[in-house]
């Protein structure tokens, strides 16, 4: 259990894919659900939404960006290594049904989260337009898998190295202007989700986002992951992680994600020093 069977470095080594042995979770998991991973006994519990599952093989796939000590520690784990703890599937699954034309917008590692949802929406009979964005084309992940799960496919890069030179919101506006869209799913960095949400709110198009607040237990027990949705406090781990984008207080979420910035730096510095020695 929890042994890495396949590993891939993406986006110039800044994003890592792990396929992990997890028979029970792979059979249960539905699109939109997450797992919690811990590299070792002293490690943090890190929630990651699954990018894929393979029930026949008994594996799940997670994709994470290396941003701090815990993900740096994850990056050290190679094929054959085992996570100290792997818990899941957690959170409410995405509500998937045929609604007509849908748009899936993804950025950064949010694309990994978006992947099983996009595939499920297409399998449910929706006409799927996918818009992926990254700073530069060499940082874009999962292009082929996402293309395969989509009817229409767009890439946006901040530097113009591929596709539309600009933000995903530009293309989203065009698509919304041309077509009668029933649902938008936007998953990525908070500013991306926030601005997608502002655009769709104007048009009155239902929009889902998947939130990634700091968590500890992931089962509703601690309340660390509380987010304000429609003026009410919700726990992302059990009430989410997906919510109606038009009701989410993104600014509060962004602030709460910065709760431990100083500690995270301290932890990362200690980790680097330890490696140097």
Partner 1 sequence: MAENKPKKEAVPRAKMPEQDPDVRRRNFIEVPLGLTPEMAMAEAQRCLQCKKPACVDGCPVSVDIPEFIKLIAENNFTGAANKLWERNALPAVCGRVCPQEEQCEGRCIVGKKGQPVAIGYLERFAADYERKNGVGGVPAVEAKTGKKVAVIGSGPSGLTVAGDLLLKGHEVTIFEAFHKPGGVLVYGIPEFRLPKEIVASEVATLEKMGAKIECNTVVGASVTIDELFEEGYDAAYIGVGAGLPRFMNLPGENLIGIYSANEYLTRTNLMKGYLFPQYDTPIARGKNVVVLGAGNVAMDSARTAMRLGAESVKVVYRRSRDEMPAREEELHHAEEEKIEFVLLTNPTQFFGDENGRLTGMECLKMELGEPDSSGRRRPVPLEGSEYRIDCDMVVVSVGSNANPLLTNSTQNLNLNRWGNIIADPATGKTSKRGVWAGGDIVTGAATVILAMGAGRAAANSMHDYLTLGW
Residues near partner 1 (CB under 8 A) are: 24-25, 28, 38, 41-45, 69-70, 73, 84-90, 216-217, 219-224, 226-228, 233, 238, 252, 255-256, 258-260, 263-264, 266-267, 270
- Least CB distance to partner 1 at residue 176 (A): 31
Helix, strand, or coil here: 136? coil
With respect to partner 1, which residue has the nearer C-beta, 54 or 233?
233
With respect to partner 1, which residue has the nearer C-beta, 26 or 129?
26
Q: Show Cβ contacts of residue 67 under 8 Å, excluding neighbours closer than 6 positions.
A: none
With respect to partner 1, which residue has the nearer C-beta, 107 or 240?
240
With respect to partner 1, which residue has the nearer C-beta, 69 or 194?
69
- Least CB distance to partner 1 at residue 221 (A): 5
- Least CB distance to partner 1 at residue 267 (A): 5
Decide: 29 and 50 in contact? Cβ < 8 Å: yes
With respect to partner 1, which residue has the nearer C-beta, 175 or 216?
216
Q: Show Cβ contacts of residue 6 under 8 Å, excluding neighbours closer than 6 positions.
A: 17, 18, 19, 59, 79
With respect to partner 1, which residue has the nearer C-beta, 104 or 248?
248
- Least CB distance to partner 1 at residue 139 (A): 26
Residue 82 burial by CB count (10 A; 0-12/13-18/19+): exposed, middle or buried?
middle
Q: How far apart are CA 39 and CA 50, in angstroms?
A: 17
Q: From the DSSP assignment, how many helices (H) and strands (E) are in the chain?
A: 9, 16
With respect to partner 1, which residue has the nearer C-beta, 87 or 171?
87
- Least CB distance to partner 1 at residue 4 (A): 16
Cα-to-chain-centroid distance, residue 99 = 23
- Least CB distance to partner 1 at residue 36 (A): 9
Decide: 11 and 67 in contact? Cβ < 8 Å: no
* Contacts of the segment 163-166: beta carbons below 8 A, 24+ positions apart: 163/137
- Least CB distance to partner 1 at residue 1 (A): 8
Decide: 133 and 165 in contact? Cβ < 8 Å: no
């Amino acid at each position: 259990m929890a042994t890495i069977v396949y590993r891939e470095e993406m986006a110039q080594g800044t994003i890592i894919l792990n396929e992990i042995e997890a028979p029970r979770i792979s059979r249960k998991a539905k699109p939109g659900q997450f797992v919690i991973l811990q590299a070792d006994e002293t490690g943090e519990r890190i929630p990651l939404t699954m990018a894929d599952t393979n029930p026949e093989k008994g594996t799940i796939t997670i994709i994470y960006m290396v941003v701090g000590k815990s993900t740096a520690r994850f990056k050290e784990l190679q094929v054959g290594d085992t996570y100290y703890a792997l818990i899941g599937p957690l959170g409410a699954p995405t509500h998937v049904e045929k609604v007509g034309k849908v748009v899936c917008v993804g950025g950064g590692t949010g694309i990994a989260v978006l992947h099983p949802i996009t595939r499920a929406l297409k399998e449910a009979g929706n006409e799927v337009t996918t818009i992926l964005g990254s700073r530069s084309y060499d940082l874009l992940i999962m292009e082929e898998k996402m293309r395969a799960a989509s009817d229409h496919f767009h890439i946006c890069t901040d530097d113009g190295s591929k596709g539309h030179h600009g933000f995903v919101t530009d293309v989203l506006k065009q698509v919304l202007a041309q077509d009668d869209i029933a649902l938008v799913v936007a998953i990525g960095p908070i500013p991306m989700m926030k601005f997608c949400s502002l655009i769709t709110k104007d048009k009155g198009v239902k929009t889902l986002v998947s939130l990634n607040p700091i968590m500890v237990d992931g089962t509703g027990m601690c309340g660390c992951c509380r987010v304000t949705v429609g003026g009410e406090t919700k726990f992302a781990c059990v009430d989410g992680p997906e919510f109606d984008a038009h009701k989410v207080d993104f600014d509060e979420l962004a602030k709460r994600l910065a709760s431990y910035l100083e500690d995270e730096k301290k932890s990362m510095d200690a980790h680097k020093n330890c490696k140097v020695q």
